[in-house]
Chains A and B, each alone.
Chain A
Amino acid sequence: MSNVIKQSGAYLEIVSFHLGEQEFCIDIMAIREIRGWAPVTPMPHTPRYVLGLINLRGAVIPVIDMACRLGMPMTEPSERSAIIVTDIKGKLVGLLVEQVSDMMSIKSEDLQPAPEIIPEAQRAFCRGIVALEKNMVCFLNLDTVIADELSMAA
């Protein structure tokens, strides 16, 4: 998919959100829906970052605390929290984020690779860094982030 981005030279639609003080973003095409926080049903024998299950119009989907998944403190859910429902390799997964900040379209060139001082395993989470005027946003590689989980869940 990285190849697709590099070669397109076109615009890239992204949705950015906050986790604690940091700002991350994902590809808008992976998103199915954004909805408000609703209580989850916990599931036994799951990692800490898997909060539980929700009912999305009849479909049962897992909800992952992104902050916890990315090695940050657990997110405290509130009314203003949001669950981003994503489609990762055909599986629907809910991502709990603090706040959805913006929708924007960036050029492919603006996406810069992450520095190589980080080990490979960890570097796989990040597809690149989007440098904006005010701040920089980490473009998450949802395939890597969620893939293992989905396989586990499967």
Chain B
Amino acid sequence: MKLSVSQRLWVSGVAAFIGIGSLVVVGWYSSSTVSGALAHSQIIDGIDRQVTDLRFANEELRLASMDIIIDRAERQVSAERKAMLETSIKVLKGGSATVASFAKSEGLAIDASALNADVDIIVKAAGEQLPALVTGGAPDAEFDKIDDVIDSTGSRIQAVLDVVSAATGKAQQREVSVAMDQAQQSALIQLLIGVIAVILAGSLIAWQSRNILKGLNAVRRSMNRIAEGDIASTVDGTTRADEIGEIARVADILRKATVEKERVEAAAQSERLSVDRERSENETERQRDEEEIRRCVTILAGGLARLAEGDLTQQIEDPFRADLERLRQDYNAAVTRLSTVIGNVTDQSSSIHSSSVQIRMAADDLAKRTEQQAASLEETSSALEQITITMRGSTSKAEEAGAMVGGTKVQAEKSTAVVREAMQAMERIESASAEIGKIINVIDEIAFQTNLLALNAGVEAARAGDAGKGFAVVAQEVRELANRAATAAKDIKQLVARSSAEVQTGAELVTATGQALRDIGADVVKINEHMISIVNAAREQNAGLAEINTAIGQMDHVTQQNAAMVEQTNAACQTLNEDTTRLESVISQFRTKLGMAPQARAERSSMHTNTPIPPRAPVVSTGFKPAIAPAQPGQRPRTSPAQKLMGRLENAFGGSPAPAKSSTLQSSGQRVSAQASPSTDQWEEF
């Protein structure tokens, strides 16, 4: 428990205060209890006095009543007695309630209502009936009766009051004893608390004061030691948390400051001595260093001079002094590294050389393919032209067919008109037939009438007898003629009817023909539409072919540019080769320890540089219309390599020998070997 001094004092004070406070509280509580008991006993005392008053009043009432009964001969109640009666009645009425409440609170075995009733009875008897009897001069029996009532009632009330009086005495004694018990108990408690408080406070004060004194004594002893010069030993009590600990810590700080001061003085002294010694040692060492540095510089200068001459083989083997040894190692490393770099450069330059040769081979391949492409383009172009011509022909044919279809349509329309005329002719024939029928009917009628006439003639002739014989013959002849005429008319009628039927059939056939011709006309119109569609499609195809033509022109242009690019690539290869050679000659000025001397390699690579790379001819297409801008303005115009190739092939198949040109058809690998000998003529072939 770490407490400051003030806190310790506070703890002791608070303990004492609590002890005193508890004593006061206990005293206050016990005195209040005692005074409450006493007050209660006073109340009970008052009740006792009242009960006593009641007893007196009762007795007085009885006595007064008796007096009144005795003096009944006077026939009146004296004022003195009346006053006595009234006073007694008043006391009885007022006290009965108090007695009842007290009996209830004490739990007495009395009948409070009976008491009240008795009081009422006696009051009524003594206060009202008796004076009435006296003043009324009632008989003695009445007085005896009322005397009995008053007596008996008074004695009952008296008995009750005796009981109550005894109870009040007991209650008083009880309250007093309660008060005395309480006082005794509180005195005991106070004594107990006082003893505990004194013991607690005393022990606390003793403990705290011992603690404080112990700390103070320890600090005092330590400070005495410091004062006597013992600064090595530490101060006690610095770990305490209170003010004493504070004092101890301050004392310790003072002690430490003194110790530090003494140590610093000693150190300054020793340093002065060591500096003097060191100075003399440095002097000799510096002279030795200067000697060494001079030697190193001389050796390094020699090495650098060799390096300047291009000799990369020399290393400095003699070790330098320690701090300059790094210089020697760096020099050696630099020479080694330089030598390695030069060797690498040599290797790389030869590698670049071979790469440039490969690039040139690739460029040759590319040139060949470009030629093939140009030839293919030319073939495509001519095929396209053929297609265009064919397409144009089919277009014109389709247009002619369209025109013919138009003519057919007109003819079909004309045929329709002819059919209409034929129909009209048929109708005319029919009407003519009807006319003929009418005429025939007339002839028939005439024949009939003739027949009748002939019959009548025959009849007349018969009646005439022999004289009419000749006439009868004539009449018979006439009849026969008439019959023949009728038969002929009938035949003609049949013929006309048949002709009418035939005309009907013909009209139907003509109508059918007209319908067929109209159908043909409609079909012709449809055919015409189809022909128009075909013609339009052909025109679109023409446009498409023109676009294809343009595209092929662009392809040709690109091919030309490719050829130019190949040419540039070749030139770049040449430049690269020359640069490589120059690089190798520069590198050959260095001598290195690595295997083969650069000089030898430079000689070997010069073999390639001496081979001039001829410029490639640009590919110029002659079979194609679109004008192609030359890839480079300074280029010489040449014929198409593709055409040349084809011409050469023709020559070859034609039997004419071309031995010098066969090498161009060889593989690229063979061509590289062929380039070793200067033969620029090959390139002129393209």
Q: Residues on A close to B: CB < 8 A?
A: 13, 15, 28-29, 31-36, 79-80, 82, 100, 103
A34 touches B455 (CB 8 A): yes
A28 touches B459 (CB 8 A): yes
Q: With A36-B448, A36-B449, A80-B448 in contact, is A103–B455 under 8 Å at CB?
A: yes
Give the complex CA separation of A29 and B464 in angstroms. 10
Please list the 10 inter-chain residue pairs (A to B) with the smallest Cβ-Cβ separation, ordered nearest first: A28-B462, A13-B462, A34-B455, A103-B458, A31-B459, A34-B456, A34-B452, A33-B456, A28-B459, A100-B455
B476 within 8 A of A: yes
A29 touches B449 (CB 8 A): no
Q: With A28-B459, A103-B458 in contact, is A35–B476 under 8 Å at CB?
A: no
Give the complex CA separation of A29 and B462 in angstroms. 7
A33 touches B448 (CB 8 A): no
A36 touches B458 (CB 8 A): no
Give the complex CA separation of A151 and B239 in angstroms. 197
Nearest chain A CB to B639 CB, angstrom units: 113
Give the complex CA separation of A58 and B462 in angstroms. 25
Give the complex CA separation of A116 and B417 in angstroms. 78
Give the complex CA separation of A29 and B452 in angstroms. 17
Tally of A-B Cβ pairs under 8 angstroms: 35
A-contact 0/1 string along B515-550, CB 8 Å cutoff: 000000000000000000000000000000000000
Give the complex CA separation of A13 and B461 in angstroms. 11
A82 touches B479 (CB 8 A): no
B463 within 8 A of A: yes
Give the complex CA separation of A110 and B543 in angstroms. 111
Least CB separation from B453: chain A residue: A34
Q: With A103-B476, A103-B479 in contact, is A15–B459 under 8 Å at CB?
A: yes
Pull 13 A–B residue pairs with CB atoms less than 8 Å apart, ordered by A. Answer: A15-B455, A15-B459, A28-B462, A29-B462, A29-B463, A31-B459, A34-B459, A35-B452, A80-B448, A82-B452, A100-B455, A103-B459, A103-B462
Nearest chain B CB to A17 CB, angstrom units: 10
Determine the chain B residues whose CB is within 8 A of the CB of A33 once the complex forms: 456, 459
Give the complex CA separation of A79 and B463 in angstroms. 27
Give the complex CA separation of A5 and B461 in angstroms. 20
Determine the chain B residues whose CB is within 8 A of the CB of A34 once the complex forms: 452, 455-456, 459
Determine the chain A residues whose CB is within 8 A of the CB of B452 once the complex forms: 34-36, 82, 100
Determine the chain A residues whose CB is within 8 A of the CB of B451 once the complex forms: 100
Give the complex CA separation of A100 and B458 in angstroms. 13
Interface of B is mostly: helix
Given contacts A28-B458, A29-B462, 19 further A-B contacts (CB under 8 A): A13-B462, A15-B459, A28-B463, A29-B463, A31-B459, A32-B459, A33-B459, A34-B455, A34-B459, A35-B456, A79-B445, A80-B448, A82-B452, A100-B451, A100-B452, A100-B455, A103-B455, A103-B458, A103-B479
Nearest chain B CB to A92 CB, angstrom units: 14
Nearest chain A CB to B467 CB, angstrom units: 14
A-contact 0/1 string along B449-491, CB 8 Å cutoff: 1011001101100110000000000001001000000000000
Determine the chain A residues whose CB is within 8 A of the CB of B476 once the complex forms: 103
Give the complex CA separation of A79 and B459 in angstroms. 21
Nearest chain A CB to B408 CB, angstrom units: 58
Give the complex CA separation of A103 and B453 in angstroms. 13
Nearest chain A CB to B89 CB, angstrom units: 170
Give the complex CA separation of A145 and B479 in angstroms. 29
Least CB separation from A100: chain B residue: B455
Nearest chain B CB to A110 CB, angstrom units: 17
Give the complex CA separation of A82 and B451 in angstroms. 11
Give the complex CA separation of A120 and B479 in angstroms. 38
Within B282-318, the residues touching A (CB, 8 Å) are: none
Determine the chain B residues whose CB is within 8 A of the CB of A79 once the complex forms: 445, 448
Give the complex CA separation of A119 and B129 in angstroms. 183
Nearest chain A CB to B479 CB, angstrom units: 7
Within B430-453, the residues touching A (CB, 8 Å) are: 445, 448-449, 451-452
Give the complex CA separation of A31 and B452 in angstroms. 13
Least CB separation from A13: chain B residue: B462
Give the complex CA separation of A100 and B483 in angstroms. 12
Least CB separation from B454: chain A residue: A103
Least CB separation from A27: chain B residue: B462
Determine the chain B residues whose CB is within 8 A of the CB of A100 once the complex forms: 451-452, 455
Give the complex CA separation of A34 and B482 in angstroms. 16
Determine the chain A residues whose CB is within 8 A of the CB of B449 once the complex forms: 36
Determine the chain B residues whose CB is within 8 A of the CB of A36 once the complex forms: 448-449, 452
Determine the chain A residues whose CB is within 8 A of the CB of B445 once the complex forms: 79
Least CB separation from B449: chain A residue: A36
Determine the chain B residues whose CB is within 8 A of the CB of A82 once the complex forms: 452
A-contact 0/1 string along B330-354, CB 8 Å cutoff: 0000000000000000000000000
Determine the chain B residues whose CB is within 8 A of the CB of A35 once the complex forms: 452, 456
Residue with the greatest number of chain B CB neighbours at <10 A, chosen from A15, A29, A31, A32: A31
Give the complex CA separation of A82 and B479 in angstroms. 15
A-contact 0/1 string along B196-221, CB 8 Å cutoff: 00000000000000000000000000
Least CB separation from A36: chain B residue: B452
Give the complex CA separation of A28 and B451 in angstroms. 16
Nearest chain A CB to B208 CB, angstrom units: 178
Give the complex CA separation of A149 and B335 in angstroms. 181
Determine the chain A residues whose CB is within 8 A of the CB of B479 once the complex forms: 103
Give the complex CA separation of A31 and B445 in angstroms. 23
Nearest chain A CB to B469 CB, angstrom units: 11
Residue with the greatest number of chain B CB neighbours at <10 A, chosen from A31, A35, A36, A103: A103
Give the complex CA separation of A103 and B474 in angstroms. 13
Nearest chain A CB to B441 CB, angstrom units: 10
Give the complex CA separation of A29 and B459 in angstroms. 8
Give the complex CA separation of A35 and B455 in angstroms. 9
Least CB separation from A35: chain B residue: B452
Nearest chain A CB to B438 CB, angstrom units: 14
Determine the chain A residues whose CB is within 8 A of the CB of B456 once the complex forms: 33-35
Determine the chain B residues whose CB is within 8 A of the CB of A80 once the complex forms: 448
Least CB separation from A103: chain B residue: B458
Nearest chain B CB to A78 CB, angstrom units: 11
Give the complex CA separation of A82 and B449 in angstroms. 10
Give the complex CA separation of A15 and B475 in angstroms. 14
Nearest chain B CB to A41 CB, angstrom units: 22
Least CB separation from B479: chain A residue: A103
Give the complex CA separation of A103 and B462 in angstroms. 10
Determine the chain B residues whose CB is within 8 A of the CB of A13 once the complex forms: 462
Give the complex CA separation of A144 and B479 in angstroms. 31
Give the complex CA separation of A80 and B463 in angstroms. 25
Give the complex CA separation of A33 and B452 in angstroms. 9
Determine the chain A residues whose CB is within 8 A of the CB of B448 once the complex forms: 36, 79-80
Give the complex CA separation of A80 and B490 in angstroms. 14
Least CB separation from A28: chain B residue: B462
Determine the chain A residues whose CB is within 8 A of the CB of B462 once the complex forms: 13, 28-29, 103
Give the complex CA separation of A34 and B479 in angstroms. 13
Least CB separation from B451: chain A residue: A100
Give the complex CA separation of A76 and B458 in angstroms. 27
Nearest chain B CB to A108 CB, angstrom units: 16
Nearest chain B CB to A59 CB, angstrom units: 16
Least CB separation from A102: chain B residue: B479
Nearest chain A CB to B472 CB, angstrom units: 8
Nearest chain B CB to A26 CB, angstrom units: 11
Nearest chain A CB to B348 CB, angstrom units: 141
Give the complex CA separation of A35 and B448 in angstroms. 10
Give the complex CA separation of A80 and B448 in angstroms. 7
